[in-house]
Amino acid sequence: MRRRSFLSALAGLSALAGSALVALTLLALPSAAHAKIDGALSEADKALVAKAQAYIQALGSASARFTQISPKGDVSRGVFYLQRPGKARFAYDPPAQMLVVSDGHNVNVWDGRLKTFDQFPLGTTPLVLLLAKEVRLDRGVVITKVEKLAAGFAITARDARKQAEGRITMIFADDPLQLRGWTVVDAQGQETRVTLSDLKTESGLSPDLFVLRDPRPRSGRP
């Protein structure tokens, strides 16, 4: 698996954040008071947005299994760890050799098959929207649709400035309220789906989970 397999799963978020990176998450929602919400949304829709915002803001430490389906139908799985603010880890199951870690300052991406290590400032990636102390998506984002589902609801957002095409739909379960995943559609209409399962709060996550240094011998680095 190439590192862009991870990045493509989160591609829409870069558009929503106005970032040049094709990267996560994924997941942050605006407060009802500050978000640029499409005027067609009802008060009930706006209430669901506020409900989802409060839920994500309250997330502290958590873990989940994730399943990612690429536009070509390739399936990847792994484990996701979260420790807000600032820290996250995506560990892909074998045979993939992919690891993505935010340590609170940088997002580090290691591809063991290609032997590549990339580092991006957290603040320049959409992950900051999930990991920031105050979760906000009220800059340059429009919520275009809120849809009630059989056992929950979905919220779709796009770039308000239309500088980047694409959209992300975040899916939540009700009773109890829980993030279940997201679907990203990029500018070419290609769809990547990420589903979360067994999402649970955690206590005492090891700090080592959120540390990733370049494992290549110094002499072998470019």
Higher pLDDT, 205 or 21: 205
In a domain, residue 220? The reply is no
Note whether residue 215 is domain-resident.
no
Q: How far apart are CA 82 and CA 205, in angstroms?
A: 9
Please count the structural domains in the chain. Answer: 1
> What's the pLDDT band for 2 if we cut at 50, 70, 90?
very low
Task: Work out the pLDDT band at 77, boundaries 50, 70, 90.
Answer: very high
Residue 206's Cβ-side half-sphere holds a number of Cα atoms within 13 Å equal to: 3
Mean of the per-residue pLDDT values of the chain: 76
Element of type H or E holding 62: strand 61-69
Q: Domain for residue 151, yes or no? A: yes
Q: Is residue 213 part of a domain?
A: no
Domain containing 153 equals 3-196
Tell me the pLDDT tens digit for each residue of 188-206: 888 888 899 999 999 889 9
Which residue reads 């995943």 in tokens?
181
- 77, part of any domain: yes
Instruction: Write out 186-212 in H/E/C secondary structure.
Output: CCCCCEEEEEEEEEEECCCCCHHHHCC
Of the candidate ranges 113-127, 136-150, 164-178, the one whose mean pLDDT is the lowest: 136-150
Whether residue 78 lies inside any domain: the answer is yes
Q: Per the domain annotation, does 216 fall within a domain?
A: no
| HSE (side-chain half, CA atoms, 13 Å) at 207 | 1
Task: Look at residue 152 and tell me if it is in a domain.
Answer: yes
Q: What is the DSSP string of 12-60?
A: HHHHHHT-SS----------TTTSEE-TT--HHHHHHHHHHHHHHHH--
**Rounded CA Rg of the chain:** 17
User: What's the pLDDT at 163?
Assistant: 43
CATH of residue 90's domain is 2.50.20.10
Q: What are the Cα distances from residue 110, in Å, to 43, 89, 92, 132, 211?
A: 44, 12, 11, 23, 12
